[in-house]
Each structure stands twice: as structure tokens, then as C-alpha cells.
A and B are shown apart, each in its own frame.
Chain A
Amino acid sequence: MMFATPLGLLALLAIPAIVAIHLFRRRFPVRSVAGLFLWHIARQTPEGGGKIARLPITTSLVLECLAALALALILAGARLSSAGVSPHLVVLLDDSASMAAVNARGESARDRAVRRVLEEVDRLGNRARVTLVESGERPSVLVGPAALAADVRPGLDAWQPEALHHSLALGLRLARELAGPTGRLMVMSDVTPGPPGEPGVLWASVGEPLANVGITAAERTITPAEGRGAVALTLGNHSDSPARRRVSVSAGDKLVVTRELDVPPGVSSVAFPLPAGLPPVRVALAGDALARDNEVILAEPRPRVVAVENRLPDGRGRQALLKALGALAGVTSAESGHLVFGEAGELDRPSPPGVWRVGFGRAPSAWLAQGEAQDLIGPFVLEKRHPMLVGMTLGGVVWPGAIPLAAGSVHPLVSAGDQVLVGMPAASGGTQTEPTILVNLDLDRTNLIRSPDWPILISNLIEMRRQSLAGPERWNYRVGEWIRVRLARDPKSPLRLRCGAVERALPAGRELEFIAPSPGGLLQILEGPGDDAVLFELGVNFLDESETNLRGLSTADVGGFGDVAGLRAESGPESDPLFWLLLAIGGTAILVNWCVFTPRRR
């Protein structure tokens, strides 16, 4: 007999209490009388307080003790033997893509893991409860918690490991929580744990060292001026000998390029020219042990070109700006650009929509304070977290022409003492809608334009502006990376993404941010319910050198199951015949005692 709530056995204290009541109860000699009502006026005599006498084993005492015993056992959750207790097996399944690598017989570590789990479930019997946990950056419960043994096989059939390389620690923590003190914990992986293993865990490694060639990095570029593009691949050959592989590049159903490659052991690179304007292309490597790393989808990038308008007066400063802009890609000169470089005195005028302004020299008079211009050599204090100043040091820079500015008129980004050198004017009256940057500097006299900080500053400004332009931040991503897309306008219909079998809604707004979904492929951002309104097509690929390398896989059993009690079935006490037996005994005893032995009074 087992007890679900052993504390309920405290109710057995009722039995000695009943015995005590019977023991100490007054027991007077019985006398039959004819007119009991004549005695009722006399004071009642308390039933307790009598002297201890030999305990009379009356039927009432037996029935009361029997009822107390039965009810106490019910409260304690008495169960017959081990009925209602099921072994609970919690299995952490390594969901990394390497588990899907197949050997020469076409058998994968995933297949061996499934077989091993089913054997373990069969060994535990039909009463077993099983929980399957899928590892990953966000571990999840695949089957269960504490599912029936019959539910295990469908869950395992649906399991297809495809995740990037990740630690099993998070999954193991979730599995331990689900196992609790009653579950047996098992890890199915293709690698062995580092010593000393995991206590109380049977770590079954079912991996097998395999040679593999895979794509570990891929990039698609375009040169708009020349009207051509290219695909660059980084290949990893994790074997001891060169491998010959066919690489094919196709756009839709059209094969664009195909080539036989001799991939040397280790890491190598290869590039294929592509015509510009092709839709997303599929680059495929001929089959080997791991299929997951043999294919990538690459969308053609559409660079976000920043149009720059140079309004600086002729002089050293203007020339230095032209020189710095010439070294940057994705920049063009325009009459009405995204970014305007000019004199600082014009910064108090309203700017057209979409135009950022950078002003050099004397600030508008409204921003100025009393005082003369100063030439400064430092020390300079930089707001290093600001993207415009990333990588800048201003070491050895002479900063001439710094005019004192009114307090609160400019938010400082670079300062020397209390003098603001670079800053962003504080918004006044809500009229300033586009970013404006004041550089409180005499460009013609400074050595900043000859220092390494100058091209960095111009590049940072260009990139800041580029990031704010509409379009994706990048066009090709790894699974799990953050994708950021800025729309040119507010969406007119609900947005959604579709990536292979994954399709979900996106939050409304001009700035979209989400994680590249697994297993990857061509990702489309759509507007509205139809399939026609595709806003962007991006490539999401599995690129993981750690998973491509299959040479470190192994087969071994480490550790063993902990000594656990098993999981008590969640079914109620009514499933146990002992419950009904005790209920019948207790109820009958109470009823008989009440009906037969309770004195009748009229």
C-alpha cells in the first residue's frame, strides 16, 4: 500500500481519541423506568469525567474506530501497491543539424536516437510517461509534459533536427525542471559531454564521425555601375582529402551556373559571376553527409545609395569632404540629397523633409553665447556611444574657431571643457523634424581634415543616413539573426512574412524587426492577404561551421539514470479500487452507528 499524502495519516489520531472517549465515558448501571419524563427536570449529568475502567469493546466503538481508520486512509491517499505510479522518462533531444547527418548506410544520428528512445519507452512499459524536450537557443517541449507512451512515436516522427550549433545547457535545465524529483533524465546527442558528465543523467551519444563538405559563408554582391553581380562562397571540407563537388547556381527554374570544384581539406573560397537583376538564386552543393549545409538562398542586394549635397564654400574643407566621400561606396552627389554638408549659420532654417544637415563653422547667432572663438587642442570628450563618433579619438587634432554656444541650445556630442564642439541642436517648438548636426569648427584652419578621424566621421555620417533610408538593413541573413527593415511609408494592409513553411504576421509600423526563422530559405515580406504584394525578398540560410564539421561526433553512454520514485498518475483517487472500498467501509460504519446505536428521543 502506498500513500499519496502521508500527512493524512495524522487523521489516525482520531482512533485513540475515540478509544479515550469510550474509556473515560461514564457508564452507569442501567435501570428501566416507567416515567423518564419525571426525571428530566433534574440536572443533566455530564457524560465525561468518570473513572478509568476496563474498556468495553462495544459494537459502537468498533464501528467508530473502523470509520476513523477508513477515512484516515482515504485522506492519506492510500493506494494499492504501486497502482497509479508510472515511470517518467524525460529525454532531451539534441536538435542541432548535425544530428541529421547520414552515414554511408543512409542512417542518421537522429534515426539512432529515435530507436534508442523507443527502446527505452518499451522497456518502461505502457504505464510510462514520457516528456521529450527539444534543445536549442529556446528549448521547447516536443511531447508532453508526461505524455503517454503511445504519443511518443508520432512526436519522434515529426522531429527533424535542423538548429544551429548551440549549447545543451538550457535544454538540460528545462529537462531537469520537467523531470523533477520523480523523472528519469536522458540526453540524446551526437557528442559526449565533457568530464565529469551530468549527474543523474544518462547521456547517450549516438553520433558517428563523418566527412563533410558544406557552405559555411555566402555573399551575393552587385556592382550597379558595371551591371554585374557575383556570388562568393566559403566552403569547409572537414575531411582528410580533397573532395570533388558540383556547385550549381539557379534562379527559379533556370540554371545559371554549374561548376565542378575540387574542394581542398579545410576552408576555401570560390566566387561565381552573375548577371545583375537576377531574382534570388539558389546555390546548391552536391549531396554528402549533411544536406543542411549544402544549399543557400541569396537575394540580390539593392544598395541604399546616400545622395550627398556639398554646400561647403570652396576651400580646404570642401576638398577634404569630396576626397572622403570619394572613398565611400554607395554615395552619390546630388543637388537635393539625403545629406547636406554646409555652413552652420544656415542650420536654424527649416530643412526640407528627408534631408539631414551637417553644418561647419559659426553657429546661428541665436545659439551663440558671449565670448570669442577659441582654438582648442584638447582634451576632447566624445559621446562614444553615438554612432557618428564610433571609432573616433581626435588624438592630436587642433580644433580652431570654437565659438561659445548658449547653454541648452545644443546637445553636446563632442566637447572640450564647457565648450560644445559637435552637437545636435535641441528641438525648439517642434519645428526641427530631421536631424541636424553642428560642427563648431573652422574647417580651413583645422588639422582634423588630415587626421584619420575625418574619413571616419564622414563615413559614420553617411552610414547613419543610410541606415535611416527605406529597405532592409541587409539582404541575406543567417538563421537566428535579427532582420531589420525600414519601410518607405506606413503599411496600408497587415504585414506578414513567409519563409518556407513558416508564415506569420508582422507588427504594424514602418520599422520591422524580427528573427530570421528556421529552417530558412527565401523570406518574403508581404503586404495584405494576397501573394502579389511582395515588398522584399531576403535570403535566410543555415551557415554554421560548427555543425558542418562532423568529425568530432561519437557514440557512447555516459552516466546513468538517477534513483527516482516515478511519477504518480494524475488521475484522481477514484481510479483506485481501494478508495471505493474504504469509502464503503467508512460510510457503512458511520451509517450503522448512527441508525442503530444513536439513542432515539421523541
Chain B
Amino acid sequence: MPTSIDWAAVRAAASFRLAIPRTPMGGRVGARLGANTGSSLEFQDYRPYTPGDDLRHVDWAAYARSEMLAVRLYREEVAPRVDLVVDISRSMVVTEQKLRAYGELLGVLACACASTVADARIITTSAVPPQPLHVPEDIERFLACDAALSALEEVHLPFRRRSLRVVVSDFLFPHDADVLVSRFARDSAMLSIVQLTLREEAEPEAEGGRKLVDVEGRGELDLVIDEAAIRDYRARFSRLRLGLSSAARRTGARFAHVVAGAPARDVARALAAAGVLEPA
């Protein structure tokens, strides 16, 4: 399904970057201030002098005032590692609208990665090595979405230690949310889960008899979609979303649910509200 991201709209909303966790994180020394003490010029705190400290960091003015040796501490500067997990299964492009929304969402996240000055990589499946994300436009290469299965169902994905992990999918496949989220969060600096669904996937309406065909080949079903069926469906969908949300909360991850069709600016704000992004 051919696609083209409206980069103008995306960039207009790209005043965000990936949120950095307070906890220690992996990565080389870089331009982003980390949560730990380091060697940047930004003052962070004092602490009592101990033998062996660099005398250049002793605050002599403070010694003059208090006759106590204290050492100035500065914040570290890091270049965070970002692993962006992109679901390329056919369910992500089940409709044109979902494909377009998926493109814009990934564009927003790619721009955020660029703003983060991070070492970002795209993970689609364990069978293919992660691809570096140099510029936001690189994300367009991953919108073909023709896989029969979501990479998220694979047991092992090539995550890096202490990386910032952003997982984007509709999560519309049978799963155990706790197991899934725990697997993503293991040994990560921070995990962000972004669920993208169509409005009719989240809140379907009665439309009579339909032959439902799973785009990933998981079967067919002749069904009269009436109020009772919708009630059942919504309950199950809510349990699925709440399961993901709860599992994310338990592991300290961020969770955002994005409904396809919203403008890119609103999407970015929703992600920021969920703690996935932060103003640049």
C-alpha cells in the first residue's frame, strides 16, 4: 500500500523529544544532560570533599565562608540509545486511514528521536538486524507492513542494554500483557508503549452481518455485528488496553493510546501527556 508521510504536518508538531528517565541510562557521552553527575558545565550539587577529589572542583569561596571543603558536582552529558520497535504486520495497514495515522505517528517519533540526539535504531523483527535511524525520513522505509506476524510476538528482539525503548503497535493479537511488557522492559532504561488503533477498532458500531477476515490470516468469521456483539467486543478490547496500561504501570513504563485520525500535533501532545515525549 503506497504511503507518503505528510512531513510538513509532522514537522510542525515536532517540537518534542523523547523523555529521558531519571534513572541511570546507557550510552556514550553526548549532548544530552543525564540524570547522573558528570562532566558538563551545568552545576548540580555540592558534596563534602574526600581525599582524592579533583582540587579544581573544590569551591574555595564556600570554604572561605564556611571553613569546610566542599566539591562542586556537575551533571553528566549523555547520548541516549533509542530502540524503536515498529510493528510491520498487516494489521497496521488494515485501512488507508490506519496506514496514514501509523505513518504520522512514526514520523512524530522519528522526529523526536532526532531531537533527542540519540543513537536510534529501528527494530522490526529478530530476523533482520536493527536499522539505524539517521534522519526522520528513514522511517518511511518501514511502512510496507506486509508481515504475517507482529514482531512483538517474537520472544527475543535485539534490544540494547539500558536503551530507551519505544514500542509502537496496535497490540491486536492474542497476548498476555504482563509477560509482553515485562519482556520489553527487561534491562531497559525506559520503556514507552504506544498503541495505535482505528476508532472503529476501539469503538465499533452495529453494522449488521459481516464476514470478518483477519488480515493476518488468523481466520474468518461470519458475524452479525449487533449491540450484543459490540458490547462483548468493547469489553474485551477494554480489557486488552487496560491490561497493557496496567502492565506498563507496574513496570514503570509509559503507555499511550493513539486513535487514528487525530492531527499529528494532537498525537504529539498525547504522547507528551503520557510521558513518552517531552518538550524539546
A597 to B221, CA, bound (A): 15
Tell which of A26, A27, A37, A47 has the most Cβ of chain B within 10 Å. Answer: A37
Q: How far is the CB of B83 from chain A (nearest CB, A)?
A: 24
B211 CB contacts on chain A under 8 angstroms: 27-31
Contact residues, B191-235 vs A (CB, 8 A): 201, 208-224, 228-229, 232-233
Residue B60 interfacial (CB < 8 Å): no
Asked whether A39 and B174 contact (CB < 8 A) given A32-B94, A34-B91, the answer is no
Residue B236 interfacial (CB < 8 Å): yes
Asked whether A33 and B212 contact (CB < 8 A) given A41-B232, A41-B236, A42-B228, the answer is yes
Contact residues, A174-220 vs B (CB, 8 A): none
Q: How far is the CB of A436 from chain B (nearest CB, A)?
A: 103
Partner of A39, one of B92, B216, B217, B229: B229
Asked whether A36 and B236 contact (CB < 8 A) given A26-B209, A31-B210, the answer is no
Q: Do the beta carbons of B229 and A37 come within 8 Å of each other?
A: no
Q: How far is the CB of A547 from chain B (nearest CB, A)?
A: 88
Contact residues, A8-55 vs B (CB, 8 A): 26-45, 47
Q: How far is the CB of A160 from chain B (nearest CB, A)?
A: 81
Q: Do the beta carbons of B232 and A30 come within 8 Å of each other?
A: no
A33 to B210, CA, bound (A): 11
Tell which of A30, A31, A599 has the most Cβ of chain B within 10 Å. Answer: A31
Q: Do the beta carbons of B222 and A26 come within 8 Å of each other?
A: yes
Q: For residue B219, which residue of chain A has the nearest CB?
A: A601
Q: For residue A26, which residue of chain B has the nearest CB?
A: B222
Interface size bracket, A side: 20 to 34
Interface size on B, residues (CB 8 A): 33
Residue B170 interfacial (CB < 8 Å): yes
A44 CB contacts on chain B under 8 angstroms: 221-223
A581 to B131, CA, bound (A): 57
Q: Do the beta carbons of B219 and A30 come within 8 Å of each other?
A: no
Residue B172 interfacial (CB < 8 Å): yes
Q: How far is the CB of B59 from chain A (nearest CB, A)?
A: 60
A261 to B209, CA, bound (A): 115
Residue A600 interfacial (CB < 8 Å): yes
Residue A450 interfacial (CB < 8 Å): no
Q: For residue B216, which residue of chain A has the nearest CB?
A: A34
A47 CB contacts on chain B under 8 angstroms: 222
B232 CB contacts on chain A under 8 angstroms: 41-42
A28 CB contacts on chain B under 8 angstroms: 208-211, 222-223
Contact residues, A152-191 vs B (CB, 8 A): none
Q: How far is the CB of B149 from chain A (nearest CB, A)?
A: 11
Q: Do the beta carbons of A33 and B209 come within 8 Å of each other?
A: no
Residue A602 interfacial (CB < 8 Å): yes
Residue B240 interfacial (CB < 8 Å): yes
Q: Do the beta carbons of B218 and A32 come within 8 Å of each other?
A: no
Residue B173 interfacial (CB < 8 Å): yes
Q: How far is the CB of A602 from chain B (nearest CB, A)?
A: 6
Q: Do the beta carbons of A599 and B219 come within 8 Å of each other?
A: yes
Partner of B240, one of A27, A38, A43, A602: A38
Q: For residue A42, which residue of chain B has the nearest CB?
A: B229
Q: How far is the CB of A137 from chain B (nearest CB, A)?
A: 78
Q: How far is the CB of B109 from chain A (nearest CB, A)?
A: 20
B142 CB contacts on chain A under 8 angstroms: none
Q: How far is the CB of A601 from chain B (nearest CB, A)?
A: 5
Asked whether A32 and B222 contact (CB < 8 A) given A38-B236, A39-B229, A41-B232, the answer is no
Residue B74 interfacial (CB < 8 Å): no
Residue B49 interfacial (CB < 8 Å): no
B222 CB contacts on chain A under 8 angstroms: 26, 28, 44-45, 47
Q: Do the beta carbons of A42 and B233 come within 8 Å of each other?
A: yes
Q: How far is the CB of B74 from chain A (nearest CB, A)?
A: 49
A36 to B221, CA, bound (A): 8
Partner of A36, one of B170, B209, B219, B228: B219
A36 CB contacts on chain B under 8 angstroms: 212-214, 218-221
Q: Do the beta carbons of B91 and A37 come within 8 Å of each other?
A: no
Residue B237 interfacial (CB < 8 Å): yes
Partner of A33, one of B92, B214, B236: B214
Q: For residue B214, which residue of chain A has the nearest CB?
A: A36
Tell which of A26, A28, A33 has the most Cβ of chain B within 10 Å. Answer: A33
B174 CB contacts on chain A under 8 angstroms: 37
A570-602 interface code vs B (CB 8 A; 1 in, 0 out): 000000000000000000000000000001111
Q: How far is the CB of B237 from chain A (nearest CB, A)?
A: 6
Q: How far is the CB of A53 from chain B (nearest CB, A)?
A: 13
Partner of B212, one of A39, A41, A601, A602: A39
A600 to B216, CA, bound (A): 11
Tell which of A31, A36, A601 has the most Cβ of chain B within 10 Å. Answer: A36
Q: For residue B201, which residue of chain A has the nearest CB?
A: A34
A42 CB contacts on chain B under 8 angstroms: 223, 228-229, 232-233
A41 to B237, CA, bound (A): 11
A36 to B92, CA, bound (A): 14
Tell which of A32, A38, A601, A602 has the most Cβ of chain B within 10 Å. Answer: A38
A39 CB contacts on chain B under 8 angstroms: 212, 221, 223, 229, 233
Q: Do the beta carbons of A31 and B212 come within 8 Å of each other?
A: yes
Q: How far is the CB of B196 from chain A (nearest CB, A)?
A: 10
Q: Do the beta carbons of A32 and B215 come within 8 Å of each other?
A: yes
Q: How far is the CB of A30 from chain B (nearest CB, A)?
A: 5
Q: Do the beta carbons of A599 and B220 come within 8 Å of each other?
A: yes
Q: How far is the CB of B69 from chain A (nearest CB, A)?
A: 64
A40 CB contacts on chain B under 8 angstroms: 221
Q: Do the beta carbons of B91 and A35 come within 8 Å of each other?
A: yes
Instruction: Pick the 6 closest A-B CB pairs, nearest first.
Output: A35-B172, A34-B91, A36-B214, A42-B229, A28-B209, A28-B211
Please, could you name 7 A-B residue pairs with CB atoms under 8 Å apart, sorted by A? A28-B209, A30-B210, A30-B213, A36-B213, A39-B233, A42-B223, A44-B223
Q: Apart from A35-B237, A45-B222, what 10 extra A-B contacts exist at CB < 8 Å? A: A28-B222, A29-B210, A30-B211, A34-B215, A36-B213, A37-B174, A38-B236, A45-B223, A47-B222, A602-B219
Interface residues of A (CB under 8 A from B): 26-45, 47, 599-602
